Structure 1
Amino acid sequence: MLLNFHVKNLALIDESDIYFDEGLNILSGETGAGKSIIIDSLNFALGGKLDRSLLRDNDDYSLVEAVFETDSKAVCEKMKELGISFEDGQIILSRKVLKNRVLSKINGENVSVSVLKEISGLLIDVHGQQEHQSLNDKRNHLKILDEFGKEKISKLKEITSDCYKRYSELKNELDKLSIDEESRKREIDFLEFEINEIESATLINGEDDNLEADYKKLSNGKKIINSVNKCHQLISEGNNSAANSIGEGMRLISKVAEYDVNLSNLLDSLSNVDSLLNDFSRELSDYISENEFSEEEFEEINQRLTVINNLKSKYGDSISDILASLEEKRKRLDTLVNFETYKESINKKLKNAEKDLVDASLKLSECRKKISTKLVKEITKALLDLNFLQVSFNMEFRKTLDYSANGFDDAEFIISTNPGENLKPLGKVASGGELSRIMLGIKTVLADTDNIDTLIFDEIDTGISGRTASMVAKKMAYIARRHQVICITHLAQIASMADSHFLIEKKINKNEGTTSSIIKLSNDAIITELSRLVGGTDITDAILSSAIEMKDNANIIKKEIEKG
């Protein structure tokens, strides 16, 4: 659920925190108080675009933060996949707008907007006018059906997707075999040349690294030998060598060591140095004898590297890449040499894959049609509850021209809201206000299967009043028993169902100008706000009494919903 939403330096809001609760959270306020700013800024926190007009000229930055708490398995897996720390089930989404850039973060780690949207899409579902209009796109109708019946449909979709993948791979392979005889012979000749070129090099994995090291060593061979010889001379050769000087030092100290025990210890130390120096001198002498520069060896290494680098320029950045390319070329050559046999084999596999795809798509379609009967029945009931008095609702299935990973179903909701009228596509019949109620009806039906914890409804009360508003309010309360719901409304019927009620106010301060604030209302303040929603600014005793009665009735309805 959404625990807290923090906004700073955005439009009329200086700084504000909203601590949401479980159940139905209602936000209300006068027109122009800043209700739209809350939704716009929340959408921005979830990865949406920000209306630049909301930014204030005198502020260095604007900030929005949304704090969620979840135990969703899908969220846990996605956070782990992204490598983002995730402790105590808490996720903080934040976006900070600076002068020339926007910083997006999840739990303090910088992320792209696409990642932010991916995570937020698993946490919260926002239903505004745009989301209601999504019902006009029939592709979303099949998604709704699949979500409703996911327990039975998901596995069939997975099987169908696997079959389609296999079918597509074989079809692509067959398309590659569309080649005339002359082109086939040319490709065979070229492949034979390339294969022979690689094979004749008798490459060994890792040899290029060894050759590079040897080349580097030999190319600096003279320089190395000169330096090593000079070092050997300084250590071991002549009267002024280090070995001779240490030996002379040992003789001098040994003559007087008997007079001072400390000198005996120093003599032992110098003796160790002499021993180490002698060992080093022998190893250095061995190195000189074993590493004499060979012009012939250097040329051989140079030529071998030239061959390998030439192959790299054609077939891959490493020897393993070249050998992998060789294997692919052998397979392709074998295919072209045995062209007809291979083509016949792919055709046979393709027919079998197509049959599997048809069977899987058919089973998926049959399952969808069976489940759609139940979905249609439940949506129809929900629409009747939402005051669609003479509604007829159904789902129409057609078959797509081509197969896809999603089968061959082209499904669409059809509806008639008036008696005697034929059922027509939903997007061609329903008005904006009707679409919002239909979406609410669908969300009510999906309430038990939807895994997203938090739902936000904005403009759900567009074009409704009276009895319809009361029915919409009851549906909102029903959904809020299974999800956290946040709803912005101007209707008292919906607001009365609130488990928590927040008031958005606009204040005019002489020094600071105009600001918006959000406060959580007490029980008495809730009655006052309901009275305002019912009767406007002139609140009479009758209106106040009506508001109290409305809240009491709402509490009774919510208890009935809880009992089931």
Structure 2
Amino acid sequence: MLEELDIRNLGPIREATIAPAAGMTAITGETGAGKSMLLSAIRLVSGGAAESSRVSAGADEAWAQAIFALADDAVASEHSGDTNDAGDDAGSDDSDSGLTGAAAAVAKAHDAGVDPEDGELFLSRTVRASGRSRAVLGGKSVPRSVLGAIAGELVTIHGQTDQLKIAASSRQREFLDRVAGDEAELAAYRKAWDALAAMDERLERLRSQESSARQQADYLRESIDRINRIDPQPGEDEELKARRERIENAADIAQGVGSALGALDASQVDVDAADGASAVELINHAVTSLRAIRVGGAFAEQADRLESINADLGDVVFALSQELGDEGSVEDLDQINGRIHELGDLTRRWGPTLADVLAWRDKAAFDLEDLDASPEKVAELESERQTLYAAALAAADVLSAARVAAAADLGARVTEELGSLAMLGASLEVRVTPRDKADDPLGPYGRDDIAFLFTPFEGSPQLPMGKSASGGELSRLMLALELVAADTRGGADQTFIFDEVDAGVGGKAAVELGKRLARLARSAQVIVVTHLAQVASWADAQFVVTKEPPDADDDDLGVVTTIAEVNGETRVHEIARMLSGSESEASLDHARELLKESVL
């Protein structure tokens, strides 16, 4: 939910902080006081267009920040999803992953490199008087489209300019699917559709092959044959280079090893007696001399140490003796150089290592299957496609059945709600029809065309939403839709903001309107901008927007708007003002009575 909204230097609002209630919050005030600036602030942090003209007079920049508190399960769903990242499609969006609302917002923030802090997300926007703007998510600069994507999961604004989004068929489909609760059916269809789409892409690639593709196939085939003939082994070239180095330095190796062995143990090599005793002999002589001492203790210990050293020398002598005569011949060197040359040619073409060469060969073999577009191969894949298409069509039929049932119920229940919102004779029909495409009716989200058709009054022609209602009528229609969705599927895990929802409403209908907003606030956060006391009285919190003349010292700043929460008697006075424009005893008593009655 929206926990806090901070505004600085936006239009007539110099500084304001609003902490909406978890349930229903009413924003009230006289016409022209600046209530619309609150919506401007929400749109700003939601990635909306930045207008430098909205910066307060005399200020360098305007700033707005929204702090959203997230449910624990929304934050947990992102962290638990981290364990599955390796198996996910990096290009998949949150609608495909099944995440919605706060969980989807957390996932999108995570993709942008920001995680919630203490269960909160901070979205802010700065607009300079020069016209440039800066979007910030959790202290990190991001494209404003990122703010829009995240805020779109957390906030839904139902205002005259925002309503038109629901006119899009994709939004209507998403809303119907939410009410229908057809997540399982939609997921089953999307799995079948993705398999079909992958097959179509493969077939299209095969069918469109030209001479260049055949040349590529020839190149792959020849390359694979060449690699197979040489039959490289991982690391073989490095082993051969090490062996070549030994052969090329055979004389130095023989001389050095022979001299070392002669010095350590003359019995291992043909060493002239004039060379003197070897290290092993000398140590043995020392041991014998120490053992001959009849006094034990330190002399025996030193003899033991010398014997241990002699054992180590024996290991060294043995290892060096194995190196003699293992350098290879000139003929071996020629063969090794030839092999190294062959392997080097492979790594230059497909390396840089022999492991890379082998990996390239394996992938090339797979690619070659698709490039060899033989009639038999195409026929085989076309047969597989028919099976996949039948499966996708069957899944689409199941999804359509769920949508048709939900559409009839949604239309009837919304029509019933409209009658209680001062729109007698208005009705909504949710129409689900098979897509008019004989050759292939399937699409990414099924085979249905979905249309919300609204009749604003009896006798009016039935027209698509967005083209058949005023701003106030459309706001009340959206309220009815959200109410039915909340009653059907429970909380929406969102903040709903209603503007102009009370346009053209009064009397008993206004009370019913307020009651329904409060009902929606049981399962979601609701913020309503209203001029009707009958609506504001149902709110859990009420903020009043007031315009004040500037101080004498700051006359160049123009009118200043302030925002303050009203409680107790202060709220009674505001409700009384909204009722009659005055604060007489009669209007105050009426206000108290209205507040007392406005309880679900």
TM-score (norm 1): 0.74
Match in the other structure for 2:501: 461
1:316-395 mapped onto 2 (5 Å cutoff): 319-330=358-369, 332-333=371-372, 336=374, 339=375, 341-395=376-430
Q: Which amino acid aligns with 2:590?
A: S
Range that drifts further, 133-142 or 113-122:
113-122
Match in the other structure for 1:541: 585
1:118-129 mapped onto 2 (5 Å cutoff): 118-129=149-160
Range that drifts further, 414-423 or 397-406:
414-423
Q: Please list the CA deviations of residues 366-420 of structure 1 after superposition, one character each: whole Å capped at 9, or x if unmatched.
A: 3322222211110110111111111233223333323113221112122333333
Distance 2:40 2:186 in 1: 36
Distance 1:129 1:164 in 2: 37
Distance 1:8 1:274 in 2: 85
TM-superposed CA distance for 1:551, in Å, is 1.6
> 1:9–1:59: 8 Å Cα contact kept in structure 2?
no
Distance 1:299 1:455, change over 3 A: same
1:416-455 mapped onto 2 (5 Å cutoff): 416-448=455-487, 449=489, 451-455=491-495
Q: Which amino acid aligns with 2:350?
A: K
Q: Which amino acid aligns with 1:196?
A: D
Match in the other structure for 1:92: 120
Q: Please list the CA deviations of residues 500-528 of structure 1 after superposition, one character each: whole Å capped at 9, or x if unmatched.
A: 11233455445676765443322111111
Q: Which runs of 5+ in 1 are unaligned?
A: 238-242, 248-264, 559-564
**Out of 131, 136, 156, which is 2:167 matched to?**
136
> 1:365–1:409: 8 Å Cα contact kept in structure 2?
yes
Q: Please list the CA deviations of residues 475-518 of structure 1 after superposition, one character each: whole Å capped at 9, or x if unmatched.
A: 10110122221222222221111111123345544567676544
Q: Which amino acid aligns with 1:477?
A: A
> 1:530–1:547: 8 Å Cα contact kept in structure 2?
yes
Distance 1:417 1:38, change over 3 A: closer
Distance 2:369 2:534 in 1: 75
Q: Alignment length, in residue pairs?
A: 540
> 1:79–1:86: 8 Å Cα contact kept in structure 2?
no
Range that drifts further, 473-482 or 319-328:
319-328
Q: Please list the CA deviations of residues 124-160 of structure 1 after superposition, one character each: whole Å capped at 9, or x if unmatched.
A: 433333332223323332222211111xx22222222
Give yes or no for the alignment of 1:103 onto 2:136. Answer: yes
TM-superposed CA distance for 1:442, in Å, is 0.5
TM-superposed CA distance for 1:116, in Å, is 4.9
Q: Which runs of 5+ in 2 are unaligned?
A: 84-109, 264-278, 284-300
TM-superposed CA distance for 1:547, in Å, is 2.0
Q: What secondary structure is seen at the aligned counterpart in 2 of 1:390?
A: coil
Match in the other structure for 1:193: 222
Q: What secondary structure is seen at the aligned counterpart in 1 of 2:67?
A: strand
1:16-35 mapped onto 2 (5 Å cutoff): 16=17, 18=19, 20-35=20-35
Distance 2:314 2:60 in 1: 74
Distance 1:220 1:114 in 2: 60
Distance 1:517 1:527 in 2: 19
Match in the other structure for 1:162: 191
Q: What secondary structure is seen at the aligned counterpart in 1 of 2:121?
A: strand
Q: Which amino acid aligns with 1:148?
A: V
Seq. identity, %: 22
> 2:9–2:61: 8 Å Cα contact kept in structure 1?
no
Q: Please list the CA deviations of residues 216-271 of structure 1 after superposition, one character each: whole Å capped at 9, or x if unmatched.
A: 97999999x99xx99xx9xx99xxxxx9xxx9xxxxxxxxxxxxxxxxx9xx99x9
Distance 1:201 1:10, change over 3 A: farther
Distance 2:214 2:33 in 1: 77
> 2:407–2:432: 8 Å Cα contact kept in structure 1?
no
Distance 1:272 1:540, change over 3 A: farther
> 1:75–1:122: 8 Å Cα contact kept in structure 2?
no
TM-superposed CA distance for 1:66, in Å, is 0.4
TM-score (norm 2): 0.71
Match in the other structure for 2:77: 77
Distance 1:145 1:15, change over 3 A: closer
Distance 1:75 1:110, change over 3 A: farther
TM-superposed CA distance for 1:114, in Å, is 5.5
Give yes or no for the alignment of 1:503 onto 2:503. Answer: no
Distance 1:528 1:325, change over 3 A: same
Distance 1:79 1:62, change over 3 A: farther
TM-superposed CA distance for 1:65, in Å, is 4.2
> 1:136–1:426: 8 Å Cα contact kept in structure 2?
yes
Distance 1:185 1:527, change over 3 A: closer
Give yes or no for the alignment of 1:491 onto 2:520. Answer: no
Distance 1:182 1:425, change over 3 A: closer
Q: Please list the CA deviations of residues 78-112 of structure 1 after superposition, one character each: whole Å capped at 9, or x if unmatched.
A: 3554695999995322245578854322xx67766
Distance 2:316 2:14 in 1: 77
TM-superposed CA distance for 1:283, in Å, is 8.8
> 2:47–2:147: 8 Å Cα contact kept in structure 1?
yes
**Out of 489, 500, 518, which is 1:477 matched to?**
518
